[in-house]
Amino acid sequence: MKCPPMIVSLKFRCDKEDEDGRGFGLWLPLFIIAPVILLILLALCPVALPFILISLIITWNAGWLRYLWYGIPAFFRTMHELTGLKIDVEDRKNKIYIAVY
Amino acid sequence: MSENRKKILQMLADGKINVDEAQRLLALVNSETEGENRTGSVGQKTKSAPRYMHVIVEPKPGVSRENGKHDHHGKVNVRVPFGLIRAGIKLATLIPSDAAEHVDKAFKEKGFSFNIRRLKEEDLEELVTALQDSEINVDTEYELIRINAE
């Protein structure tokens, strides 16, 4: 079974023509951030639920409910499959590095 | 579906062989495939399905692409899990028809006749099978491009 993404490593470097290159690196511990976000969302549920129900009723006829119903699990499935993604694009002045472990 | 099986079914459809002969050939292909999976060749382990698609673009040393103001030495190294591509294909089927038309139109402007809503996972499996034993290498004037599955 594949593990969900635990850590995201980000590195950016952007050179402007009149400035020296500035870059930064960042490690995001998703195994800490994701549960915290989930807890916050669960805490907001009682407050947001009436608005969600009203928007569902309004968008029922437009068919958006179907996209929402299938889209949320599909979104989480896509996020789960991010493990192992590595993007490293670099030229002489700029660099973008994203790795998901 | 493997290439051999496709050829056999095509011959059956064209009437070159009858049903019995097609069955015998398919059984032969199946037994060969099972034998390869079980024993493998000497010194090699059975290949597992590739998990990533790797695209590498490296500039050639000593060669620069001059573009008026400055030269480019772009380097690209992208590794995408096939699971992510499969999940993306499933997500693409949820794109509303209005948005899908915009996407198809944008592809068409770039010269790709593409229908994003007709993407299927089987198409990806064929690509994975093809990439499993092969590596695409492109040698241009300024860079080396390599695409493989690992």
Q: List the pLDDT tens digit at each of the 101 positions of chain A.
A: 677 888 899 988 876 554 555 678 888 888 888 888 888 888 888 888 888 778 777 776 666 666 777 777 888 888 888 999 999 998 878 889 999 98
ipTM for the complex shown: 0.72
**Whole-Å CA distances, B146 to B44, B82, B135:** 24, 17, 7
Cβ contacts (< 8 Å) between A2 and chain B: which residues? 83
Per-residue b or e along B82-97, where b marks 16 or more CB atoms closer than 10 Å to that residue's CB: bbbbbbbbbeeebbee
Across the interface, of B74, B77, B81, the residue whose CB is closest to A81 is B81
Separation CA A95–CA A97 (nearest Å): 7
**Contact B81/A84, CB-based, under 8 Å?**
yes
Residues B72-120 pLDDT 10s: 568 899 999 988 888 888 777 777 777 778 888 888 888 877 777 777 7
Chain A hits for B87, CB-CB cut-off 8 Å, are 74, 77-78, 80-81
The alpha carbon of B76 is separated from its chain's Cα centroid by a whole number of angstroms, namely: 19
DSSP string, A53-79: HHHHHHHTTTTHHHHHHHHHHHHHHHH
Quick one: pLDDT at residue A86? 93
Nearest to B73 among A84, A86, A92 (CB): A92
Residue A9 corresponds to which tokens in the numbers above?
């490593």
A81 touches chain B (CB under 8 A): yes
Q: Which helix (H) or strand (E) holds B86?
A: helix B82-92
Report pLDDT for A98: 92
**Two tokens at B55?**
């695209």
* Chain B residues touching A75 at Cβ < 8 A: 91
pLDDT tens digit sequence for B135-147: 888 888 888 888 8
Judge contact between B94 and A71, C-beta under 8 A.
yes
> What end-to-end distance do the CA atoms of chain A give, in Å?
15
In chain A, which residues have their Cβ closer than 8 Å to the Cβ of B97? none
Q: How far is B96 from chain A (nearest CA, A)?
A: 8
CB < 8 Å to B88, chain A: 78
CA B103 – CA A85 distance, rounded (Å): 24
Dig out the tokens for B69 from the structure: 């103001």
* Best of A2, A17, A18, A86 to mutate (most B CBs within 10 Å, chain B): A86
Task: Mention every residue, 6+ apart, whose C-beta is less than 8 A from residue B121.
Answer: B86, B89, B90
**pLDDT for residue A88:** 92
Is A84–B94 a contact, with Cβ atoms under 8 angstroms apart? no
A97 CA: distance to closest CA in chain B (Å): 9
Distance from CA of A33 to the nearest CA of B (A): 21
More confident residue, B32 or B87: B87
